Amino acid sequence: MTDQVRYRNELRNRMTHMLHIILCGGLFLIGSTGFSSAHAATTRIKDIVDIEGVRDNVLIGYGLVVGLNGTGDKLSNSPFTEQSLIAMLERMGVNVRGQNLNTGNVAAVMVTGTMPPFQTQGSRIDVTVSTLGDAKNLQGGTLLVTPLMGADGEVYGVAQGAVAISGFSASGAGTAVTQNTPTRGRIASGATIEREIKFNLNDLPQVRLALKNPDFTTARRIARAINGFTSSGMASAANDATIILKKNPGYPGSLVDLITDIEQLPVEPDQIARVVIDENSGTIVMGSDVRVSTVAIAQGNLTIKVTETPQVSQPNPFAEKGETVVVPRTDIDVNTGEKAKLAVLEGSVTLQDLVTGLNKLGVGPRDIITILQAIKSAGALQADITTM
């Protein structure tokens, strides 16, 4: 048995032992309290960090979709489509410059795709096709050869193929029906990678692990988990978002082997108390560590309801004079919130207590947003508020 195989087997045995301890502890907590918060909160290192250099690259290109059934761009309204069509035909040896083109079977589109890390030349990726002009539908269209460029302006792929859409559009003289978005389509495996991004992970003397949700406590826990698993000081937390991982000279494997060994380690991530508010939709998301100091809350809205019930007044039958008129009838109802109650939330209440207290007031999500902002202004909400 080689040193590398022996070392990897030893690491695997340590990892199995650690998982056994965690699972046993989780089962004990479940048997005693009915819920294992520690076990439920643990997650793998690979799920909460990004590895330096291992990243996607976005690609974009401009092209033409042909073969549409009269649902393409109107050339009179889309000069870029006409110019692109003339240039494409000239490359094919057809001279139409100066001619009056009147086709509705062509649409100018933007083609986008994502190139995963370590893609080799000849591999294929999916691309999305979206119209630029006034095309109504891409159904039945075919994307012509379209170079895909990266942020550096270099061509990394070429896209072509039949466009598949998930919607449709149908119209008649009096009505029209549209489902989903027929002006956007997708080509599965529609682009071929022509240029590779040169990056050799094993050549790096060290690699940085970037936390997806930066936190000092989580960064230190990850470093300690790695060092405890490898019995060395390979990892160190540089800040709340970065852990530096250095391969020990005594480690028999490569840097890829080291990452493979440590990415399955369980870690309990920590996070700051935060309340996220989306005022557009009225959505509120509160973390489990949100706390509220002692505070009294009263909520009442001034509501004015105006109801119009006009009545028609007509003259009596056989009357010599008279006319039919509309007599307005207006009913105004004012609700000043006199039945609103004052609720007291005790100090250091939990998230469940906070939600229960607000529900007792009978307030809706949008009123809760205002209440949370007011509690924060009063200094009683021990959490950050993020408004989307």
Question: What is the pLDDT, as a whole number, of residue 309?
Answer: 67
> Percent of the chain scored above 70 by pLDDT?
71
Rounded to an integer, the average pLDDT of 229-239 is 90
Q: With 70 as the cut, is the pLDDT of residue 344 above it?
A: no
Q: How confident is the model at residue 41 (pLDDT cuts 50, 70, 90)?
A: confident
Q: With 90 as the cut, is the pLDDT of residue 64 above it?
A: yes
Q: With 90 as the cut, is the pLDDT of residue 31 above it?
A: no
Question: What is the pLDDT, as a whole number, of residue 19?
Answer: 43
Question: What is the pLDDT, as a whole number, of residue 175?
Answer: 65
Question: What is the pLDDT, as a whole number, of residue 34?
Answer: 37
Q: Are the C-beta atoms of 177 and 183 separated by less than 8 Å?
A: no
Q: How confident is the model at residue 223 (pLDDT cuts 50, 70, 90)?
A: very high
Domain boundaries, the chain: 3-53+200-267, 57-164+181-193, 274-304+333-387
More confident call, 116 vs 41 = 116
The residue written with tokens 């529900």 in the block is 359
Question: What is the pLDDT, as a whole number, of residue 254?
Answer: 87
Rounded to an integer, the average pLDDT of 117-133 is 94
Residues 6+ apart with CB under 8 A from 361: 297, 298, 299, 340, 341, 343
Query: Using the 8-state DSSP alphabet, how is residue 135 labeled?
Result: -
| Region for 82 from its dihedrals, namely left if φ exceeds 0, alpha if ψ lies in -120 to 50, beta otherwise | alpha
Question: What is the pLDDT, as a whole number, of residue 350?
Answer: 65
Rounded to an integer, the average pLDDT of 214-233 is 92
Residues 6+ apart with CB under 8 A from 136: 71, 169, 182, 183
* Residues forming a β-bridge with 277: 284, 387
Q: What is the pLDDT of residues 8-24, one digit of tens each?
A: 566 555 555 544 444 44
Q: With 60 as the cut, is the pLDDT of residue 306 above it?
A: no
Q: With 60 as the cut, is the pLDDT of residue 200 above it?
A: yes
**Residue 247 phi, psi dihedral angles, 5° rounding:** -80, 125
More confident call, 120 vs 12 = 120
Q: What is the pLDDT of residues 73-98, one digit of tens each?
A: 999 888 999 999 999 999 989 988 88
More confident call, 252 vs 359 = 252
**Residue 225 phi, psi dihedral angles, 5° rounding:** -65, -40
- Catalogue the E-assigned strands of 8-154: 43-44, 49-51, 57-66, 106-115, 124-131, 142-149
Give the whole-angstrom CA distance, residue 194 versus residue 124: 10
Question: What is the pLDDT, as a whole number, of residue 186?
Answer: 95
Please count the other Cβ atoms lying within 10 Å of the Cβ belonging to residue 387: 10
The verdict on pTM exceeding 0.75 is no
